[in-house]
Amino acid sequence: MHFSRETLCTPVFLFLTNSTAHVKGGAPSGELMGKNKNKFGAPRAAAAAAADDEGRRPLKDEDDCSDSDDEVAGKGGHSAPAAAGKGKLAQFEAAGKRGKGAPGAEDGQPVFRNKQRVLVLSSRGITHRFRHLMLDVLKLLPHSTKDSKLEGKDRPMVINEICEMRGCNGALYFEARKHKDLYLWVARTPHGPSAKFLVQNIHTMDELKFTGNHLMYSRPFLVFDSTFDSEPHLQLLKEMFQQTFGTPKNHRRSKPFVDHTLSFYVLDGHIWIRNYQCTKHEETGETALVEVGPRFCLQLHRIFAGAFQGATIYSNVDYVSPNVVRSQEKIAKSVKYAARTEAQKQAVLRNQTMPKLENPFAGVFK
């Protein structure tokens, strides 16, 4: 074969000749295959032999991930310093994912994990103030998940199916009525119980503008008034609040800090809920509480045996519907209107019955 001078000087020809010389003369193909065989052939052969004994195909992880942890640590040299350099938050999240640090984790025994998840949703037609309150409550619950609005034609019992699909065992349902009233359902799904409250005295964080501020999604102290232990229905509500508002330990979205308190107080037949930040006084160093918000008050209506359904196990006799309150206000206004119209009728009647006197000086100045 004869090549011209132009063909010999082309880059393609030079590249092909250099590549052929490198493979043939530089490093024999047998040596390259030997290196690959020493590195990957023995582990793959061992994995294939183990798979044949068990009667299955070798897994991909057994072929590719054959290097041990010691080899990886020896080659890279960064695994131990990286683990030692992890912060408190990273170690906390790792312990929550793997379950380390819990009793029985090292012995191979099943570890109990508090898998609480709360579904938070509202009804269609909710106002902006009610929606802002719901979002403020969402910021206090790292173990919560939000869902779309529930249609008005759907009954609250549908929430049980939504919780099952979303993997939730609790629910907070903000139900708006007539764009004026807000009801809060606190339920343990799917078996119950559930409680229905009327929400009053609503003040969101944007309205209050307090100086208090705490870390988002940090674990709160749950503070309950001693009145909760006085009556059975209050004891039940206390347990429901603990399971709903209490952040599970080592939750993936929670922070390993406790810098605020979520307080529940019973006064005048209502449950008052407040959120405070735990700080230290600059001069004295004593612990002080600074309110963060939001503020709202709950009036118990009923407690049901099931989740959004079932028999009524407690009914508040002091509960008065907002519709009744508005009707009484209208009746009071109608009484004032009736009194005013009656006074106008009496004035007209008095003018008609009063005798008219003639003016004796009527024709003097003509």
pLDDT at 21: 42
Question: Which residues, in sequence order, are CB contacts of 134 under 8 Å at separation 6+?
Answer: 120, 122, 126, 174
| Amino acid 49: pLDDT | 57
3-class DSSP assignment, residue 335: helix
For residues 215 and 76, which has the higher predicted lDDT (pLDDT)? Answer: 215
> Per mean pLDDT, which range of 92-101, 132-141, 157-166 is the poorest?
92-101
pLDDT one-digit tens code per residue, 10-59: 444 444 444 444 443 444 444 444 444 444 455 555 555 555 554 555 54
The two three-digit tokens of residue 309, written as one number: 């359904």
pLDDT, one tens digit per residue, over 195-205 is: 999 999 999 99
Closest CA to 321 of 329, 311, 313, 312: 329
Compute CA distances 37 → 17, 20, 31, 52, whole Å: 28, 23, 10, 20
Domain-by-domain residue ranges, the chain? Answer: 17-76, 118-315
Average pLDDT, the chain: 80
- Nearest CA-CA partner of 273 in 209, 196, 187, 204: 204
Please tell me the distance from the alpha carbon of residue 300 to that of residue 196, in angstroms, as a whole number.
6
Q: Given this model, what pLDDT does residue 91 score?
A: 63
Straight-line distance from the first to the last Cα atom of the chain, in angstroms, rounded to the nearest whole number: 148
What number of H helices and E strands is found in the chain? Answer: 13, 11
How far is Cα 278 from Cα 291, in angstroms, rounded to an integer? 9
Contact (Cβ atoms closer than 8 angstroms) between residue 170 and residue 162: no
Q: Tell me the CATH number for domain 118-315.
A: 3.40.50.10480
- Name the residue type at position 35: K
At 313 the pLDDT is 96
Query: What is the per-residue pLDDT across 291-342, written as a single tens digit (0 to 9) for each?
Result: 999 999 999 999 999 999 999 999 999 999 999 999 999 998 898 888 999 9
- pTM of the entire predicted model: 0.66
Considering only CA atoms, which of 114, 133, 96, 135 is closest in space to residue 255? 96
More confident residue, 356 or 264: 264
